[in-house]
A = this chain, B = another copy of it.
Amino acid sequence: MVMKRSRSTFLRLSLLAGMVAAGRAVSPAWGDSSGDPLPSWNPGLAKDSILAFVKRVTRADSPDFVLPADRVAVTDLDGTLWPEQPMPVELFYAIDRVRALAPQHPEWQTQQPFQAVLENDREALLASGKAGLVEIVAATHAGMTTDAFTHQVQNWIATARHPRTGMRFTEMVYQPMRELLDYLRTHRFKVHIVSGSEVGFTRSWSEPVLGIPPEQVIGSVVKTQFELQGATAVLVRQPELVFYDDKDGKPRAIEHFMGRRPIAAFGNSNGDVPMLQWTQSGEGARHQLLVHHTDGDREWAYDRQTLSGQLTTGLDTARANGWTVVDMQQDWRVIYAA
């Protein structure tokens, strides 16, 4: 019988204390002094649509009132809650791991997609496509227990910085989206992340950084193997992706992980469209929102032409279905809290 005295919760809290302090993490208060719950949102259609929807489903006298248990919102992560340029955050982690592991893998010097990583050739890396990325994730996210992986990711994200902004990734959460999540939670919504990122990666930091606990994170899944090390049971992560949470995988994963259809969904790319369609096809009032990256000065400007987070059919579908499209340049007073 295992009877270690140290406590995982306290460990986790102390490990992440620096991040919470640095990254502003979950806002302790709600809204600004004027009572505006979304002070970083400029007046406009996007802000109005959010406020109107929340009133519609939470006021007891509304014909569209929704019981708290059914107030489920889902949100994409990369490009929706923080930037995904030049590539998703998890890929920065994977690249740092490839570099750290390279001395044990001399064959990577001449083997794609690893060579591209080691030579800092971002074009070649992104050109390796989904297959290349899956290979990198497999090589860097496996071969250790689930607990060891969690600690490795926590140590990385506590210090890693974005190469262009020099900010910690955890400081780059979009302040308007943070306010939106807080606003929903104040109205007894449960917010779930639904991301292509591997679920163990995101769960390692989602609670201190975004206020979203592990059980509310849905994502891609690597295979695990159950092993007994003496009397101690561990799960060892295997170099095999068994589920890729993108496009039609997103609604399928929502059904599979939680079995409840969301009433609100936020995304930013083609990969989020089926999730928003699934959300909208439920009964009663619904809200769908796409973040459109229009601000090349304060963030990045891209939609139809990009290797990361492409938005083409999404814009057309949004127009046809009456979804809210956020124009980052127009609608967001600030991008980051700092």
Contacts and interface: CB of A to CB of B under 8 A. Distances in A.
A257 interface: yes
Contacts of A251: 226, 233, 235
A6 B283 contact: yes
Secondary structure at chain A's binding surface: helix, strand, loop or mixed?
mixed
A29 interface: no
A146 to B, nearest CB: 6
Contacts of A231: 277, 281, 321
A173 interface: no
B217 A259 contact: yes
Interface stretch (A66-74, A79-87, A133-141): A66-74
B278 A252 contact: no
A214 interface: yes
Interface residues of A, number: 50
B2 A255 contact: no
This chain: how many copies in the complex?
2
A203 interface: yes
A280 B221 contact: no
A111 interface: no
B259 A215 contact: yes
Interface in A215-263: 215, 217, 221, 224-226, 228, 231-235, 248, 251-252, 255-261
A110 interface: no
A34 interface: no
A225 to B, nearest CB: 8
Interface of A: 1-2, 4-9, 66-67, 69-70, 146, 199-200, 203, 213-215, 217, 221, 224-226, 228, 231-235, 248, 251-252, 255-261, 274, 277-278, 280-284, 321-322
